[in-house]
Amino acid sequence: MTLLITIAFAAAIFHRGISFNGSPETLSRNDSTLEFFNEIRSSFGDDRVILVALTTEDVFTPSFLERLERLTHRLAIIEGVSNVLSLTNAPGIKRNGDEIKIDRLIPRAASLDQLQSLKATVTRDPLYERLYISTDGKTTSLSVFLKLVDEERSQAITKEVERIARQEAGSDELILAGIPVIDVQAIDSMTRDVAIISPVAFLLTFLIFLFAFRSLWGAALPMATMIIANIWTVGLMCLLGRPFTFATVTLPAVLMAIGSCYVFHVLNQYRISMSKIDFASSKTERLNAWIRGIKFIGPAVIVSATTTMAGFGALASSRVPTARDMGIFEAVGVFFLLLLSMLFIPAVLALASPQSLGRASEEKDYATWLNGFLRQVTALVLYRRRVVLTVSILITVVTGAGMYWIRVNTDYLRIFPEKSDTVQQVMKLHERLAGAATIQMVVGGEKGAATDPEFLAALSRFQEFALTQPGVDSALSIADVLRRFNTVFDPQATTPFPTSKAKIAAIFDDFLSQDELVSRVIDRDRSRAIIVLRIHLYGSNELRDLTQKLEEWAAGNLPAGITARATGSFILLNDASDALASSQSSSMAIAIISIYLMMVILFRSAATGLLALIPNLLPIICYYGFLGWTGITLDITTSLVASAVLGIAVDNAVHMIRRYRQSIEELNSGTESDEGWVMWLSLLRTGKPMVLGNLMLVGGNLLFMLSSFTPIRIAGLLWVITILACLAADLIFLPALMKTKLFDRTARGESGKQMSAQPAYAESRGDD
């Protein structure tokens, strides 16, 4: 069955292919902001523009402009490109006697002297300055406007634009920027991460299991299980058409780290079960011993998987697509790991030799290097219980206080390292021309409002205010075009725009009605106009501050009946940041309630569920406090850590409580008479698999340091810190809590006299 299912999912991957999506839309929630963005994009065209900039000795030379015109033409004929605008085809509004016409800004076959004369005016013209030419005349840019195409086609167009641009650039410096370019570079980085991190994670898994069991079977079987689980999960993503995004690109490595914990417990139990029977035992006896072992370890593995699924599943409530996908597919992947751990691995081992994981005996222990550490922990719990509890609570309070300073921010550009080529090119574009980010301020009124001089004057004032704001490099609107027409019509004009609606309407009808580029800044019924702002702000907090200032100014200064609203791809990031802030508390609440209810059902005790949950809430509080103290922002990646780790960490508490109860049973049966022995045996039996399993998680998350994305590197470190904190809480704080008067009877499993009435965890001493 496993083989058939794996072949089916592998065929889906081969047929459909694995896709990646680095678009900001994966970081946006489906709400009115996205609806407005899509409405404006359908009316005015896609705001995703590829910016191609060339730096040379002097743009205004015949040889360079000849190459620039050839590049403009070659890019314009790419399928999926709507238009390309550069200095060589930019329109210029000119007067020839009594005739007004729109002609090329730079005439064909212009001499060097003519070009140098043009240079002095064009580099200071607000219609072109910093948009298409730098003030020193050494850098020029082309704007490649895309049609409304899907993500896959956008990637193909961007790669073709880059290929052609590099051919034509020659020895000149080439800069490529814009959202489509960043998307492609993000996808290349995602592909690199998957190609590097996943194989390293597989190798790490193989080596850890080989070291633990000193058996080829003990290493090959877990590795096969992890590969199968990933094939199933990725295959399901392919069938559903879900691409890898910033959040889900780490999915294979995360599943391997989590799955290793389950597999370790199952293989360890098999080794113990085989150590209880004689070497010459029959196949039936070996099978029966293994079935008893599965019955013993099964509840713990099921609890571990279901709580982990609850932690990830809580993220499915997020309205941010990439966070939702991460929660859903991580939860599904854990479910697949549960099936494989409880069905596939036991089936393989039932057919294998009893010595496949090495010959173990009751006298021979493993990981003896942990014994000394566990003895010290036992002493702390027994003799320094109040100190342990006091210090733990004090650390939680002090660290948790940092939550007051926690900040929510998503910086789309800073997902790349500061020294990466992506960031450096964007910074160069800002320094020489204008920023690569774009905001569209949509100014609207009644039908035909754009032909009203009052509307245009208000639009112009709004544009001038926007240019005074930090981070805004340039601004362009239909007001600039109409102001130029007015100057050409009447060089002595005392008003910036024609004074009558009829004259303005005539300009639109006679000169601008067929201009595709004009349709990007004003709609067909002339009721809405767009101010295109080129900015160098990429953080959601900065963008939010800017758009709030602009919209507040518009609300207080635009005439009655005229409204203004910001939109654009980068505005969607603001919305994502807000979504994170609003959904973080709800995701955590869902995770905590779901996990608690599972504990109550499985232990059949509300108090025991609370006992299992409390130790793992303290590290989560510390996690959020740590973000505040260190200044690490809550973003797309860091927001996913807490609820996911909570589900994983509760596994430790479950094992600790049930092992402690088992040791109590042995004490009651007369095996030993010292309660100190009970705690020592509990920690000895539980501590080793807990430490080894969590070290696997730590190792898996440390691999994220190999990622191309800065937030994933940071999130990897945060995973490691939080997992270690949860391990310490379950290994030290939980046993100390279990020995308090408040939880002593709960920890023992006593509802009245003894713990025998707990059918959810009926245990067999002989199989541990």
Give the model confidence (pLDDT) of 215-232 as tens digits: 787 788 888 999 999 999
Contact 649, 619 (CB under 8 A): yes
**pLDDT at position 752, please?**
33
> At 311, is the pLDDT very low, low, confident or very high (cuts 50, 70, 90)?
confident
> At 578, is the pLDDT very low, low, confident or very high (cuts 50, 70, 90)?
low
Q: How far is CA 388 from CA 391, 392, 394, 596, 653, in A?
A: 5, 6, 10, 24, 17
Contacts (Cβ under 8 Å, ≥6 apart) of 469: 546, 549, 550
Q: How far is CA 526 from CA 239, 270, 499, 503, 708, in A?
A: 44, 75, 17, 14, 45
Pick the closest to residue 138 from 124, 111, 125, 119 (CA basis): 119
Radius of gyration of the chain (CA): 33
pLDDT tens across 377-393, in order?
Answer: 888 888 899 999 999 99
**pLDDT at position 339, please?**
94
Average pLDDT of the residues in 178-196: 85
The token pair at 335 is 């479910």
Average pLDDT of the residues in 756-760: 33
Q: Is residue 172 part of a domain?
A: yes
> At 580, is the pLDDT very low, low, confident or very high (cuts 50, 70, 90)?
low
Average pLDDT of the residues in 643-662: 78
User: What is the count of structural domains for the chain?
Assistant: 2
Separation CA 226–CA 286 (nearest Å): 26
Name 145's bridge partners.
49, 83
Q: If residue 9 lies in a helix (H) or strand (E), which one and from where to where? A: helix 2-16
Neighbours of 95 (CB within 10 A): 12
Q: Is residue 250 part of a domain?
A: no
- pLDDT of residue 672 exceeding 60, the answer is no
**pLDDT at position 751, please?**
40
Q: Is residue 600 part of a domain?
A: no
Separation CA 706–CA 478 (nearest Å): 47
Average pLDDT of the residues in 280-303: 83
> At 103, is the pLDDT very low, low, confident or very high (cuts 50, 70, 90)?
confident
Torsions phi, psi for 24 (to 5 deg): -60, -20
Q: Is residue 358 part of a domain?
A: no
pTM as predicted: 0.79
Pick the closest to residue 407 from 544, 548, 569 (CA basis): 544
Contact 447, 742 (CB under 8 A): no
**pLDDT at position 18, please?**
86
The 8-class DSSP code of residue 463 comes to H
Q: Is the dihedral of CA 739, 740, 743, 745 positive or negative?
A: positive
Long-range contact set of residues 661-667: C-beta below 8 Å, sequence gap at least 24: 661/747, 661/748, 661/749, 661/755, 661/758, 661/761, 661/763, 662/763, 662/765, 662/768, 664/748, 664/749, 664/755, 665/755, 665/763, 665/765, 666/765
Q: Is residue 607 part of a domain?
A: no
The 8-class DSSP code of residue 148 comes to S
**pLDDT at position 202, please?**
81
Torsions phi, psi for 472 (to 5 deg): -90, 120
Q: Is the dihedral of CA 125, 128, 134, 137 positive or negative?
A: negative
Q: Is residue 496 part of a domain?
A: yes
Percent of the chain with pLDDT strictly greater than 70? 90
Separation CA 155–CA 146 (nearest Å): 11
Domain boundary among 485, 507, 535: 535
Domain boundary among 484, 503, 535: 535
Mean of pLDDT over the chain: 84
Is the model more confident about 258 or about 462? 462
Q: Is 19 exposed, middle or buried (0-12, 13-18, 19+ CB in 10 A)?
A: middle
Is the model more confident about 28 or about 528? 528
Contact 311, 646 (CB under 8 A): yes
Lowest mean pLDDT among 363-372, 480-489, 504-513: 363-372
Separation CA 180–CA 46 (nearest Å): 11
**pLDDT at position 205, please?**
79
Range of the domain at 478: 437-535
**pLDDT at position 651, please?**
77
Q: Which of 235-249, 512-526, 580-594 has the highest mean pLDDT?
A: 235-249
> At 37, is the pLDDT very low, low, confident or very high (cuts 50, 70, 90)?
confident
Name 177's bridge partners.
51
**pLDDT at position 184, please?**
87
Domain boundary among 488, 514, 535: 535
> At 366, is the pLDDT very low, low, confident or very high (cuts 50, 70, 90)?
low
Q: Is residue 149 part of a domain?
A: yes
**Within its chain, how far is the Cα of 245 from the centroid?**
7
Separation CA 664–CA 495 (nearest Å): 93
pLDDT tens across 106-122, in order?
Answer: 888 888 988 998 898 89
Q: Is residue 525 part of a domain?
A: yes
According to the 3-state scheme, what is the secondary structure of 248-303? HHHHHHHHHHHHHHHHHHHHHHHHHHHHCCCCCCCHHHHHHHHHHHHHHHHHHHHH
Average pLDDT of the residues in 503-528: 84
Neighbours of 388 (CB within 10 A): 19
